[in-house]
Chain A
Amino acid sequence: MTDRNFAYVRTEEAPRMPPPSDTHGPVHWLKENILSTMNDFSSPAKTVKSVVMMLLTVLSVLSAYAVISGMLTFLVVNGTFSIPEGVSGADACRENGGACWPFIAAKMRLMIYGAYPGEELWRVDVVYVLLAIGIAWVVWEKAPARGLVGALMLTAYPIVAFILLTGGALEGSWGAKGVWAVIGLALFGVGIAADKGVGGEALNAFSGAFKAIGGLLVGIVLVGAIFSIEFGLEPVRTSLWGGLLVTFVVALTGIVASLPLGIVLALGRRSQLPVVRMLSVIFIEFWRGVPLITVLFMSSVMLPFFLPPDTEFDKLLRALIGVALFSSAYMAEVVRGGLQAIGKGQYEGGMSLGLSYWQQMRLIILPQALVLVIPGIVNSFIALFKDTTLVLIIGLFDLLGAVQNQALKDPEWINPTAGTTGYIVVAFMFWVFCFGMSRYSQAMERKLYRGHKR
């Protein structure tokens, strides 16, 4: 066997031929991905299409080139990076005609902290760092106790941030707090007694309501009490806040306050009770129907009229109330989407177990619905985050307002390129936040809807 040689049996592999030249390589890639859309001239209509595609492609390349090279020229080539001796910063920037980086460096503190007093900046830093840690913790999927941290971020964090930023120690009578605490505790006690069967069936049916209202009162008094504790922090008026700090405060308050309100409104809109449903619909559609600017005008100008004559009212707080009402209407629609996605069987299952309406919602419906709408919540947060810029119209200085109404008004820095440089930096900061969040929401969406995709 072994000594016989078969001439027709190959002993080594035939040399590999290169693949046909039109199926690989840069030329093929170019053909497949660019030229194939514009090389069909077989009929007048297709010729027109090919020509349009050519024009569009050329225009795209040209405009992309113009924007990129223009930006590079402005930001780097013509940019002013340092101020020569004996020349003012504004003059140096005017000389170079490009981006005015010393202006940004000089105004960076204004853009991030506003006019917050210098020796207290650490408080803002702590708030920022806690926020970053909290969000990273909740977003990172392998972190332990994510639910607990998430709950803390929605409850404890706002309280801590409030005390750190304002200095706490709010004025307010302890007597009134005591009275309200006693009323709350009494209501809660009635609820517990009713649960045990004291007062018969009629009272028993309302035990939940008593406990909820009592608990809410106690909670409010408790938060109020924490706010009035003297921590020895220097009080900082909100008129000194500004820049990124105001942007975060407005956006985060809006989203945190709108969550509970939005959930209640969404439940109200799907309620069987006509009065409740109508009121929810009117509330939601009213706030969704008007622009945020008018809401801000309303809360800054009209709100003081609605309250007792001697009420002192902080400007930032007024804006926050407007933003919270406005965003709760949008949040309600997002949550409603989640509620509608829950099958009817879930409600019926809850009913057949004998759960009350609130028990059904709390234990069965909302846990499922809220997870479904996380991408929607993130998206409405992005919208709100961008909309916070509007507060500059009512005279608050957010990130954009700090540049537009404070930094650019500084006579020392008046030069033609300061504005554009400031806008580009602010745009970049907003873009980083919004783009990051939208990526996260898309990833969540893909994760949540995995089961529905074929």
Chain B
Amino acid sequence: MADATADGAQQARSSLASMVYDPKARGLFFQIVVFGLLLIGLYLIVNNTIENLELLNKKSGFGFLSQTTGFAIFDSLGTWAVDYTPGESTYWDVFLVGAINTIWVAAFSIVLATVWGFVLGVMRLSKNVILRWFSTVYIEVLRNIPLLLQIFFWIAVLTGIAPGKRDDPMSLFDIFYFDSSGIRGPYPIGESGAGVFYASILIAFVIAWAIGKWAHKRQDATGQQFPSFWVGLGVIILLPAVVFFVMGQPIELEWPDRGRFGFRPGLGSFIEVSFVALWLSLSLYSATFIAEIVRAGILSVSHGQTEGAQALGLSAGVTLNKVIIPQAMRVIIPPLTSQYLNIIKNSSLAAAIGFPDVVATFSGTALNQVGQEIEMIFMMMMVYLFFSITTAIFMNWYNARKRLVER
């Protein structure tokens, strides 16, 4: 047996030398060394930290989260959602306010950046020279200027063009008002039966989704088409409208009111000017990257696909919807999600202009008052890590689903 001879030959060498040349043994040794070094490093860090904390007489642990706070936070979605009141809310509430605001500004930016990015990406491939030039210049200028600078620029522009708090505000159809503090509009106050109305909106979306699903199935089976988009849209508009009047118009609008010194606080809904600046700059900046992703995605679908669709007699619209876009999306989605992740991470620049996102709320007054840097920065990081890991899981799932199925 060849194996037996090899074994015999190995035993002839010294056992130490044979172990040294065994890749498994070497690997194990190397990993033990690395792991040991890591443990020593961690031990030193933990030891030093404990010593430092004792020297500075600092508390540790997460007990501070249940303490009540004494400082105010700008009105924002987060303060509204957790009903933040200084003196009653805890530091955990502050954290929630920040986390909700981060999600809020990131979600709004993702929507605008996606729409604008797709428009720019398609424009850059247009046959129309003006659109192509416009898009190219826009992309090349905005993506090469630091985002923080753009945020400063937008907040300077917005507060520069806005009327002062005591002047007449700019208004849009007398529904929305804009002054140097931010945008104000009506605030819906639900009376009895409002819950049913909100639920009906949700139900309408579910029904529309179900209709679409059913129509798709039927078309696969019988080839008959059904105008599911228009029917679905009708359901989404009509059902809540009918419920609204049946329940006796359960929602009343509270309007912002102006006194002698500007708008009275607490009336109507309100969006801080720093949110608008952050939202605009984040969207306009990120759109340039999304545009490049979209352009690459569209270019990745070879012209033969279009020609093949034409040879089959498909109309231009069907070619676009059923041949080009699905294949382009396969290329577009992975970088697009990492771009979304960048938007979420970049929303942390809110700290520079005072919009109360998780970094601004937790690293500002809260950190000064509590003074537990390690725990608080750890919690901030966890918010972003949570999004990153969720996105990574989604991407793995998506890639597995959309992988080209070959033989």
Contact = CB atoms under 8 A, between A and B. Distances in A.
Interface in B93-133: 123, 126-131
Interface in B266-300: none
A393 B381 CA distance: 17
Could you tell me the dominant secondary structure of chain B's interface residues? helix
Interface in A422-443: 423, 426-427, 430-431, 434-435, 438
A286 interface: yes
Contacts of A51: none
B146 A386 contact: yes
Contact of A400 (B20, B53, B149): B149
Contacts of B13: 201
A38 B27 contact: no
B274 to A, nearest CB: 15
Contacts of B346: 291
Nearest to B46: A306
Interface residues of A, number: 63
A36 B381 contact: no
Could you tell me the dominant secondary structure of chain A's interface residues? helix
B379 to A, nearest CB: 10
Contacts of A423: 149, 152-153, 156
Contacts of B141: 431
Contact of B363 (A64, A297, A308): A297
Interface residues of B, number: 62
Interface stretch (B31-39, B65-73, B196-204): B31-39
Contacts of B381: 290, 294, 298
Interface stretch (B211-219, B256-264, B384-392): B384-392
B39 to A, nearest CB: 12
Contacts of B123: 56
A291 B130 contact: no
Contacts of B127: 33, 36-37
Contacts of A435: 140, 144
Interface string A207-225: 0000000000000000000
B20 A201 contact: yes
Interface string A269-281: 0001111100100
Given A390-B349, A423-B149, A34 B38 contact: no
7 contacts: A205-B26, A291-B346, A291-B348, A297-B380, A305-B53, A400-B146, A400-B148
Interface of A: 33-34, 36-38, 45, 53, 56-57, 60-61, 63-64, 200-202, 205-206, 272-276, 279, 285-286, 288-294, 297-298, 301-302, 304-309, 382, 386-387, 389-390, 392-393, 400, 404, 416, 419-420, 423, 426-427, 430-431, 434-435, 438
Given A290-B381, A291-B345, A389-B148, 11 more contacts: A33-B127, A57-B130, A60-B134, A64-B134, A201-B17, A202-B17, A272-B27, A293-B348, A305-B53, A382-B144, A434-B144
Interface of B: 13-14, 16-17, 20-21, 26-27, 30-31, 34-35, 38, 45, 48-49, 51-53, 55, 123, 126-131, 134, 137, 140-141, 144-149, 152-153, 156-157, 160, 317, 345-346, 348-349, 351-352, 359, 363, 373-374, 377, 380-381, 384-385, 387-389, 392
